[in-house]
Amino acid sequence: MAEATDARARRIAIVAVVALLALLFGEVVTTPRFWRWDASEEYWADLQYLCGALWDGEWPRWNPFDRGGYSFSGDPQAGQWSPLDWALCAAGPSPGLWAAELRVALYFLLGGLGGLALARRLGLGWPAALVAAVALVLAPLPRRMWGVNPSYGLSLLPWVLWALESLAARPGPRAAAGLALALGAVVWAGSPPALYHVLVAASMYALFRMHRRALPWAAVAGVLWLGLAGAALGPASEVTPLSVQHGRDYASLSEGGIPPHELWGLVWPHRAYLYVGAPALVLAGIGARPGDGGLPRRVRLFALAVGALALVLLMGDHTPAYRVLFSALPGLSMFRAPQRFGSLLGVAVALLAAGGAARLGLRWPRLRWAFPALVLAALALDWPEDWRGVPGPAPGGADVWARIHARIQMDGGDVRHAHRVWDEFALSLRPGTHFGVRDLRGYQDPLRLGRYDKLVGGLAEAPRMLEQWSVKYLLRGPHFIHGTTHHYLPPGAEAAFADPIGEGVWRTRAPLPSAYWVPFAARFAPGDEAPRERLRQVAPRAVAFVESAARLEDEAPIERALAASAEMVAGTLRLGRNQLEVHVTAPRAGWLVVAEVWHPGWSAEIDGAPSSIELANDGMRALHVGAGEHTVRMRYSPRHGSLYAWAFAVSLACALGLLFRRDRGINPRTPDPLPRAALP
């Protein structure tokens, strides 16, 4: 009888979580609606690029179709290592927007089921577990960033805590493997801030919950996790020092905190990333009190500690304690927007509220299923306005591109190899990656290169830098959300250097080829701002301003390098996902300049012989070539990329082997050898 009752309660809780998410997300996935933020504007293109490469039997490391090219492996947000993304790729090489939207719903579903599993692992009943699930799924940060990947990684936090609790209750290889895989999944979800938040919560949970018997297996889990995580985090470590995130100061990283006098937003919708609702807070207060019938004592202390830490971090520089933590807490100085630590507040309130619901359920058993409904009703007061999406198909579809592309083809343009486009915003949603054309703009990713950021940020004053970067076509239109407020090129500026050819397309008058030879190069010291300023003054000009500490072959004064632009010889460029090929006939020894973004992971061969790639023209690539006809091949691979891949494969094999290892002599129905109540 008790087992049947428990099974019925389990079904009710699981169905309630599924029904809640179907109510929230079903309409977007199944009808002509679209989400306006990163799920559609950034991650959909990443998913399509990954799927197309996998279907072609290729592992994508570089994307040449956005921002002049960027490291696909070095961008964690691409989700390249996510098993969920691989599963979505089974639908085809170019999954529709529904796949990116379905991924959001699936991550939220994982979060809800993780909340149920964690609460049950802590000994709470199913109604209290449903309180935890609802409060975790609709915690302040996920509820406000449902379309952005921090919510993906945070949805896996309850599974990480479940794995830690399992390791504490029953140390062994299976629990260690489960913890490594849970933490690995957080990395693969693609959000470094979410990973940091999860690691902070997991570290605090381990401090309160681990004991001596579990420590060796926790170390095993840590080693396995490093191998699983390195494949994504290793290449990202190459990109970060070159990105706009490098060198940010305390003022920019700490801004956006919530003033103490606005903390009343905890109980009434007022500030993003803060509201948890009065019912959840009341239940949390009951769960925080010492006594039986709720959370285990150390879990309750963990929830109180992580909640207190979250409140301090949420306030940012409005409290002196944040300055202390900024200096003392490892990793905190890497991330901006302190209000996002509402993620940790959500975990604390969810656990304590579940404990409070368990206690009240023991006292009023007939009302125990009302508690999750109260929490849900309170959180429903703070739905984001566009949670259900925007009616109609997403902008920049294939029909719009077909019209624009036809106009470009009538003009004789080649926007895959010979020249580029600058989409602002006739198409939107990263048309370069979607349609396989070289868009110098693309999505302005948080890890975009610092040099690129300065290039596009200076277009208002130096718009002809677009021609320097081989942009032949400007695609002009208002953004579907922001209008013209997010345009780098001011409205009307195109008329000074481009001509309209219809369909919102403008043709620039003097775009440089994607690859060209010049006889001389001017040398500048690394970090010198002079090349950028001079190039902005003379663009478009076929020059090679090379940044090098060593003396160059065929080095010339800057004026001679500028005068030599008249001798330019165009090369022929062919692009691939991870490589490119240039054919050029050089009248004599000189420099081949390729208008693709320079990155340290690129290597080159000239007619089969290795050659070095220099940083030229404030972000391009340049090689010294001798006289005659040459074939130049460049390939991209992250440094130590093979090591990362092998470490991932070995760690995954070991983790899966331990996870499915048979425990000899142990009856699977035998209770845990260390009861939860006996844990220190």
DSSP for 202-238 reads: HHHHHHHH--GGGHHHHHHHHHHHHHHHHHHHHHHHH
- The residues, ordered by sequence, that sit 6+ positions from 660 with a Cβ below 8 Å of its Cβ are none
For residue 644, is it within any domain? no
Could you tell me if 402 and 383 lie in one domain? no
Could you tell me if 504 and 520 lie in one domain? no
CATH (domain of 569): 2.60.420
Residue 154, domain extent: 2-33+96-239+256-388
Kind plus residue range of the DSSP H or E element containing 400: helix 398-410
Q: What local confidence, expressed as pLDDT, does residue 5 receive?
A: 76
Alpha-carbon distance of 237 to 226, in angstroms, equals: 14
Domain boundary among 319, 354, 388: 388
Could you tell me if 409 and 429 lie in one domain? yes
For residue 679, is it within any domain? no
Could you tell me if 314 and 443 lie in one domain? no
For residue 656, is it within any domain? no
Could you tell me if 165 and 284 lie in one domain? yes
The rounded Cα 48 to chain-centroid distance in angstroms is 15
Strands 545-547 and 522-524: parallel
Q: What local confidence, expressed as pLDDT, does residue 662 receive?
A: 65
Could you tell me if 267 and 359 lie in one domain? yes
Kind plus residue range of the DSSP H or E element containing 428: none
For residue 42, is it within any domain? no
Q: What is the mean pLDDT of each run of 10 residues along the chain (680 residues)?
A: 78 94 86 86 95 96 95 93 95 93 94 97 95 94 88 96 96 95 96 94 95 94 95 92 83 84 90 91 95 92 96 90 86 84 93 96 86 93 83 87 87 79 92 93 88 94 96 92 88 92 93 95 89 91 91 86 89 93 96 96 96 95 96 94 91 93 47 37
Domain boundary among 454, 484, 508: 508
Domain boundary among 338, 368, 388: 388
Could you tell me if 332 and 445 lie in one domain? no
CB 207 within 8 A of CB 166: no
For residue 665, is it within any domain? no
Q: What local confidence, expressed as pLDDT, does residue 679 receive?
A: 36
Q: What local confidence, expressed as pLDDT, does residue 2 receive?
A: 67
Could you tell me if 323 and 470 lie in one domain? no
For residue 599, is it within any domain? yes
Could you tell me if 219 and 349 lie in one domain? yes
For residue 71, is it within any domain? no
The C-alpha torsion from 663 through 664 and 668 to 673, rounded to 10°, is -80
Residue appearing with tokens 């481009």 = 498
Could you tell me if 232 and 163 lie in one domain? yes
Q: What local confidence, expressed as pLDDT, does residue 1 receive?
A: 56
Q: What local confidence, expressed as pLDDT, does residue 289 receive?
A: 93
Strands 579-586 and 572-575: antiparallel
Closest to 133 in 3D by CA, of 282, 13, 288, 303? 13
Q: What local confidence, expressed as pLDDT, does residue 29 receive?
A: 79
Could you tell me if 200 and 225 lie in one domain? yes
For residue 474, is it within any domain? yes
Number of compact structural domains in the chain: 3
What's 616-680 look like in SS3? ECCCEEEEEECCEEEEEEEEECCCCHHHHHHHHHHHHHHHHHHHCCCCCCCCCCCCCCCCHHHCC
Class of residue 123 by CB neighbours under 10 A (exposed 0-12, middle 13-18, buried 19+) = middle
Closest to 471 in 3D by CA, of 427, 505, 517? 505
Could you tell me if 443 and 572 lie in one domain? no
What's 578-618 look like in SS3? CEEEEEEEECCCEEEEECCCCCCCEEEEECCEEECCEEECC
- The residues, ordered by sequence, that sit 6+ positions from 343 with a Cβ below 8 Å of its Cβ are 139, 140, 141, 142, 150, 154, 157, 194, 197, 310
CB atoms within 10 A of CB 87: 12
